[in-house]
Amino acid sequence: MSDHTITVSGRGHYLAAPGDTLLEAGQRAGFGFPNACRNGNCLRCQGTLVRGSVRLRNGRTVRAGEAAASTVVYCVAHALEDCEINVPDITAPGELPIVEAACQVTDITPLNHDVSRVVLRLPAGKPVRWHAGQYLELLHGDMPAAFSIANARQGDGRDLELHVRHTADNPSSLEIMAQLRSEPVMRVRLPGGRRFMADTLPDRPVWFVCGSTGFAPAKAMIEHLLTQRFAHPIYLYWGARRAEDIYLPELPAAWAAANQVHYVPVLSESDNPDYRQGLVHEAVLADMTDPQQAEIHIGGSPVMAWAVFDALNAAGVPATAMHSDVFDYAPR
């Protein structure tokens, strides 16, 4: 008997041998099936059989389209043919489970005239995982507010650093800061985002091109690369209008002084001998010698991210080598 292909709706697929339950084969392939008892009693791995047929441990056959197909328990189900399944809360290989948690607001520190560092502390107990470069959502009011997590996971993994820009032309940002200052606990949902730095590191130089608080995910990913002793060059190009808009200048300067990161700050609206002048992507193009051999992570507003994408792509950087959450939440 041959293996069967099991497609997990929206998550990918894996092979299941005739002797494997769909849960066993899926876990071996790296899928995160919710489960506990593994004998069909707790129902945590229950889901819908969208296509195909399975045989249950009790000998019963269930086919897609039958009433029983909406309550298949996959720890006791064997595929009889290629199948498609849908299981709530399942995660694909490399994907982390999304959780909601009540976090303590442990610190708020102004970093410059319109950016503050906010530190949230996850509750003790079950650890929450995220990849460097991902974001969380503050469950604030009717609409969640997304903020990049600005630190790599370290220590007990409970601290979450955010860089919150708050300006008069964005009233919702002022409301969020007021709530963070007045309420000791905030509910969050994490992790979000598919553009991150995980355990498998790139095998080529990595360039970070950011503007404003687009530095936050870059900071987290650079911290992760340095902790993992990344073997290739790391480049950071941080663009701003004026020098005072670069809100943590001492940190990338320290990386550069230690020969860990090649750091170039770029100002677009003021002259300063300590900074490159012009647009941030112009500085990147002036320095990049091999556009085909680079991985690019872009952080900033949709307008900025797409402008950088277009300029670098026109210069020979493959579209598949450029990454930004903007490309997912604000596609064009």
0.85 cut: is pTM over it? no
Residue with tokens 């959450």: 325
Q: What are φ and ψ of residue 327, in 5° steps? A: -65, -20
pLDDT tens over the chain, length 332 residues: 689 999 998 889 999 999 999 999 999 998 988 888 888 998 989 999 999 999 999 999 999 999 999 999 999 999 999 999 999 888 888 788 889 999 999 999 999 999 999 999 999 988 899 999 999 999 977 789 999 999 999 888 999 999 999 999 999 999 999 999 999 999 999 999 989 998 889 999 999 999 999 999 999 999 999 999 999 999 999 999 999 999 999 999 999 999 999 999 999 998 899 999 999 999 999 999 999 999 999 999 999 999 999 999 999 999 999 999 999 888 88
CATH number of 99-192: 2.40.30.10
- What CATH number matches the domain at 4-86, 3.10.20.30, 1.10.357.10, 3.90.230.10, 1.20.1300.10? 3.10.20.30
Please give the CATH topology (third level) of the domain spanning 206-329. Answer: Rossmann fold (3.40.50)
Locate CATH 3.40.50.80 in the chain: 206-329
Other beta carbons less than 10 A from residue 116's beta carbon: 19
Beta-bridge mates of residue 88: none
Residue 292, CA distances (Å) to 53, 132, 276, 310, 313 in order: 46, 24, 24, 15, 10
Neighbouring residues of 198: CB distance < 8 A, sequence distance ≥ 6: 94, 131, 132
| 3-class secondary-structure state, position 213 | helix
Beta-bridge mates of residue 105: 120
